[in-house]
Amino acid sequence: MTGYGLKLWLIYKKDFLTELRTADSLLSTIIFGIMLVVIFSFAFQLTDVAVDKAFAAVLWISIFFTSTLSLQRSFANEKENDTISALLLAVGDRGCVFLAKVLANLTTLVLLAAVIVPLAWILIDVQAAGPNHFGLLLLSLLLGSWGLAAVGTLINGITVQLAGTRLLFPLLLFPLLVPVLIGSILSSTAAIQQTGASMWGWIYLLLCFDLIYTVVPLILFDYVLEG
């Protein structure tokens, strides 16, 4: 393993294990996501809306609001212990810190989705899709979660050293995530309705935004954590 790869792995391992050790924070995030799914599913069932067509919207709204709780903890440990400077000095490459935290956040979001998606599927009673279309749904979930993790890590890195970070974080996060949310909802809907041909444009859009939101901050992260 190269020096860069080793540093990436160590930071990723530290962040992910820290997230698992803070069981109260992780469980509260999961419970919040479950409550959102249950509330939304009951609300749609009390209306004339075709609930199965609202599956993707319910799913991604729940994932988005749940992710804001998880992503705000990206630099929480370093801020509380005042070790951000020590971490940067130890690693040297700030882009490596960003990429490792994106991967750790992505892993956490995948775990959250593993709980939220089956629950939403059962409560909303979605008609079973074929194996190919279910694979496309998983692809849209992965790409959407990647975008959430990349943008959330970037915004948390920007706001972590500012006063009022808990207020600024969601205010800055949502406008940047609009393209990701639109692409995720529409590609997931196309996968559920088994219209795979119409979803590839949204998949490509998601992939483009994911790459932009990952590569550009990776290059500019030296300035994000400056001072």
Query: What DSSP letter does each residue of 98-131 carry, written as one string?
Result: HHHHHHHHHHHHHHHHHHHHHHHHHHHTPPPPPH
Which has the higher per-residue pLDDT, 113 or 126?
A: 113
**What SS3 state is found at 9?**
helix
| Cβ-contact 121, 55 below 8 angstroms | yes
Provide the pLDDT confidence category of residue 82 given band limits of 50, 70 and 90.
low
Give the tens place of pLDDT for each residue, 97-125.
889 889 999 998 998 888 888 888 887 77
pTM: 0.87
Most confident range, picked from 15-29, 67-81, 135-149: 135-149
pLDDT of 136 higher than 60: yes
Higher per-residue confidence, 164 vs 218: 218
Give the percent of the chain with pLDDT over 70: 86
**197-222: pLDDT as tens digits:** 667 888 888 999 999 999 988 888 77
Model confidence at 145, pLDDT cuts 50, 70, 90, reads very high
User: What tokens were used for 188?
Assistant: 């997931």
202 contacts 183 by C-beta, under 8 angstroms: yes
- For residues 64 and 101, give the distance between their C-alpha atoms in angstroms, rounded to a whole number: 18
The domain of 83 spans 3-224
Number of domains in the chain: 1
Token pair recorded at residue 227: 């001072």
Q: Report pLDDT for 80.
A: 67
**pLDDT > 70? residue 50:** no
- On the question of pLDDT at 49 being above 70, the answer is no
69 pLDDT above the threshold of 80 = yes
3-state secondary structure of 1: coil
